[in-house]
């Protein structure tokens, strides 16, 4: 017999970081990701999407061996930064873009869902177990799909998706629920 238990994020710690972060109400529309710049995270796809949208700001919070693949002039790479700074940058962006080729269940996705960011993911197995296309985020495969969804998000704020994603974290992907499931085993 086998069962699985989803990852969960610590909402108490995340709330403390959010409450201590400075939000810039006058920031430009920004699409971001967070993590190591490596093959798994698919920086080539991130770069292609950014190149297709030269008037949109893209932000990669992180560093890695494939940094040189992020060549589009509208991509800012922060390098590694302190957690509080990463949260501040996340709060000052609108869209979380996860271009990964594969994932377990990324904390950056769960945290972005909790912070009510519109989440757009590449069609990777585990991500599709979390994001239901059109319900709590978007699942894309082709460059055109990513571009269309980002444009839709920019010009039509869809708070229902973000609210649904937020509630999914509250009800399924937080550390208290995860701990309770382990306890029940």
pLDDT digits (tens, 9 = 90+) for 165-181: 999 999 999 999 999 99
pLDDT digits (tens, 9 = 90+) for 85-95: 999 999 999 99
Per DSSP, the residues of 38-86 read SGGG-HHHHHHHHHH-TTSEEEEEB--TTGGG---TTEEEEES--HHHH
Residue 127 has pLDDT above 80, yes or no: no
Q: What is the mean pLDDT of residues 148-158?
A: 86
Query: For the chain, give me the number of helices (H) and strands (E)?
Result: 8, 6
pLDDT bucket at 1, cuts 50 / 70 / 90? confident
Average pLDDT over the chain, rounded to an integer: 94
Q: What is the mean pLDDT of residues 52-58?
A: 98
Q: Percentage of residues in the chain with pLDDT exceeding 90?
A: 84
Q: Percentage of residues in the chain with pLDDT exceeding 70?
A: 98
pLDDT digits (tens, 9 = 90+) for 77-121: 999 999 999 999 999 999 999 999 998 889 999 999 999 999 999
Q: For the packed helices 11-19 and 107-114, what is the interaxial angle rounded to 10 degrees? A: 60
- The 10 Å Cβ neighbour count of residue 82 is 8
The rounded distance, in Å, linking the Cα atoms of 35 and 40 is: 10
| Residue 94, phi then psi, degrees to nearest 5 | -105, -35
Q: What is the mean pLDDT of residues 36-54?
A: 98
Asked whether the beta carbons of 13 and 176 are under 8 A apart, the reply is no
Residue 125 has pLDDT above 80, yes or no: no
pLDDT of residue 105: 86
Q: Coil, helix or strand for 12?
A: helix
pLDDT of residue 124: 73
């Amino acid at each position: 017999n086998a069962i699985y238990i989803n990852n969960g994020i610590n909402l108490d710690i995340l709330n403390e970081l959010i409450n201590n972060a400075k939000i810039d109400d006058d920031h430009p529309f920004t699409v971001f990701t967070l993590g190591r710049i490596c093959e798994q995270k698919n920086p080539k796809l991130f770069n292609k999407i950014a190149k297709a949208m030269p008037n949109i700001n893209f932000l990669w919070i992180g560093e890695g061996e494939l940094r040189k693949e992020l060549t589009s002039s509208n991509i800012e790479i922060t390098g590694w930064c302190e957690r509080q700074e990463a949260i501040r940058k996340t709060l000052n962006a609108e869209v979380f873009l996860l271009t990964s080729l594969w994932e377990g269940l990324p904390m950056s996705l769960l945290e972005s869902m909790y912070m009510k960011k519109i989440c757009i993911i590449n069609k990777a197995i585990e991500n599709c177990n979390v994001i239901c296309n059109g319900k709590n985020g978007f699942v894309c495969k082709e460059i055109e799909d990513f571009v269309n969804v980002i444009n839709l998000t920019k010009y039509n704020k869809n708070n229902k998706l973000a609210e649904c994603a937020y509630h999914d974290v509250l009800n399924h992907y937080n550390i208290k629920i995860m701990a309770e499931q382990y306890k029940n085993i």
